[in-house]
């Protein structure tokens, strides 16, 4: 059971404080990581919950210099403004290209770019652009320890929702595979515990997504033409119906990918049709 407000030391350079925002999409809550010893980077400050910000300030002890956001969903970035106000630290991240489910208050001091490195006292964090969950998603690789802060690119215990139009299934699968180009020994997800084997996790997630895609095609071949409400009952028959509204978002991302590849199309009534 999570103990909110407590800093858990994970490695010599990393501690974690879990935000008190548990839920179906956040698990026990958003993981906020503090990286460094003499000067700190905070990764994903989480929601703007005063007691969570107070816990970060207490643990940071006036050493917080950077605030990095993997993306701008409301459970990851709104705390940045409050933390900056208290510390004067620089906020780092990227703007989203759509307004759906986004933290519109996000205002970075540094708009990060792919492969850019943030240097601190005794640590280096490399930004890796990983679009898919949303278009402005970045992971940050702590090069000294080979640990990647994965935000919502990879979560422990559940799969990531892909939300069109900012989210893109083809981009997501490609971004997963891109992680294999780096020396990554562990994954620090935005929700859940550390994941030990990057390659094994990436292979598992790619296989899961492609397997789900086969279910989309098979389901559509069976009941085509179909709308999302009809199709989700077949494609996500293994998922609790209370989560089907979220599942329809990822399913739509699969359908858009399959449409680009020429396997499906939509009719004038917005029903999806299997291309025979």
At residue 276, the pLDDT reads: 82
Phi, psi of 192 (to 5 degrees): 100, 180
Within-domain flag for 26: yes
Within-domain flag for 3: no
What value does the mean pLDDT take over residues 117-129? 98
Within-domain flag for 201: no
Of 196, 226, 260, which residue sits at a domain end? 196
CA distances from 97 to 55, 157, 183, 250, 254 (A): 32, 28, 30, 18, 20
Same domain, 92 and 22: yes
Same domain, 239 and 183: no
pLDDT above 90 coverage of the chain, percent: 90
What value does the mean pLDDT take over residues 88-101? 88
State pLDDT tens for residues 3-13: 789 999 999 99
Of 196, 228, 263, which residue sits at a domain end? 196
DSSP code for 188 = E
Q: Which of 81, 76, 78, 92 is nearest to 191 (CA)?
A: 76
Task: Give the CATH number, domain containing residue 103.
Answer: 3.60.15.10
At residue 101, the pLDDT reads: 80
Same domain, 224 and 169: no
Task: Give the CATH number, domain containing residue 246.
Answer: 1.10.10.10
- Report how far residue 135's alpha carbon sits from residue 275's, in angstroms, rounded to the nearest whole number: 28
Within-domain flag for 119: yes
The token duo for 188 is: 């620090």
Same domain, 221 and 136: no
Structural domain boundaries enclosing 256: 206-274
Within-domain flag for 48: yes
Within-domain flag for 2: no
At residue 2, the pLDDT reads: 64
SS3 243: helix
At residue 127, the pLDDT reads: 98
In DSSP terms, 186 is beta-bridged to 147
pLDDT above 70 coverage of the chain, percent: 99
Within-domain flag for 227: yes
Mean pLDDT of the chain: 95
- Report how far residue 242's alpha carbon sits from residue 144's, in angstroms, rounded to the nearest whole number: 42
Question: What is the DSSP code string of 100-168?
Answer: TT--TT---SEE--TT-EEEETTEEEEEEE--SSSTT-EEEEETTTTEEEEETTS-SSSPPPP-TTT--
SS3 227: coil
Phi, psi of 120 (to 5 degrees): -125, 180
pLDDT band at residue 72 under the 50/70/90 scheme: very high
Q: Are 168 and 132 in contact (CB under 8 A)?
A: yes
Q: Which of 61, 53, 104 is nearest to 83 (CA)?
A: 53
Same domain, 128 and 18: yes
- Report how far residue 205's alpha carbon sits from residue 161's, in angstroms, rounded to the nearest whole number: 12
- Following CA atoms 111, 108, 170, 207 in sequence, which dihedral angle do they give, to the nearest 10 degrees? 110
At residue 160, the pLDDT reads: 92
Same domain, 245 and 188: no
Q: Are 68 and 42 in contact (CB under 8 A)?
A: yes
Same domain, 173 and 217: no
State pLDDT tens for residues 194-225: 999 999 999 999 999 999 999 999 999 999 99
Q: How many domains does the chain have?
A: 2
State pLDDT tens for residues 262-276: 999 999 999 999 998
Same domain, 192 and 80: yes
Same domain, 180 and 225: no
Same domain, 96 and 168: yes
At residue 104, the pLDDT reads: 87
Same domain, 268 and 140: no
Judge whether residue 99 has pLDDT over 80. Answer: no
Judge whether residue 112 has pLDDT over 90. Answer: yes
Of 171, 196, 221, which residue sits at a domain end? 196
Least confident of 25-29, 79-83, 127-131, 256-260: 25-29
Within-domain flag for 117: yes
The token duo for 79 is: 């705390």
State pLDDT tens for residues 127-186: 999 999 999 999 999 999 999 999 999 999 888 999 898 899 999 999 999 999 999 999
Same domain, 153 and 22: yes
């Amino acid at each position: 059971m999570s103990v909110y407000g407590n800093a858990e030391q994970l490695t010599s350079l990393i501690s974690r404080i879990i935000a008190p925002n548990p839920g179906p999409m956040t698990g026990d809550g958003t993981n906020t990581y503090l990286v460094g010893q003499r000067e700190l980077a905070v990764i994903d400050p989480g929601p703007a919950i005063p007691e969570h910000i107070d816990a970060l300030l207490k643990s940071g002890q006036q050493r917080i210099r950077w605030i990095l956001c993997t993306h701008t969903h409301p459970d990851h970035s709104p705390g940045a403004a409050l933390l900056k106000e208290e510390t004067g630290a620089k906020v780092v991240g990227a703007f989203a290209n759509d307004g759906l489910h986004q933290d519109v208050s996000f205002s970075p001091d540094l708009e990060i770019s792919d492969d850019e490195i943030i240097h601190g006292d005794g640590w280096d964090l490399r930004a890796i652009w990983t679009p898919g969950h949303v278009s402005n998603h970045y992971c940050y690789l702590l090069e000294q320890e080979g640990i990647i802060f994965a935000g919502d690119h990879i979560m422990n215990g559940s799969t990531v929702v892909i939300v069109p139009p900012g989210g893109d299934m083809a981009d997501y699968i490609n971004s997963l595979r891109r992680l294999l180009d780096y020396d990554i020994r562990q994954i620090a997800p935005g929700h859940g515990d550390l994941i030990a084997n990057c390659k094994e996790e990436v292979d598992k997630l790619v296989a899961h997504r492609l397997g789900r895609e086969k279910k989309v095609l098979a389901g559509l071949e069976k009941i085509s033409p179909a709308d999302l409400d009809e199709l989700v009952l077949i494609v996500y028959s293994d998922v609790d119906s209370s989560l089907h509204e979220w599942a329809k978002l990822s399913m739509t991302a699969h359908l858009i990918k399959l449409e680009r590849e020429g396997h499906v199309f939509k009719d004038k009534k917005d029903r999806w049709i299997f291309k025979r």
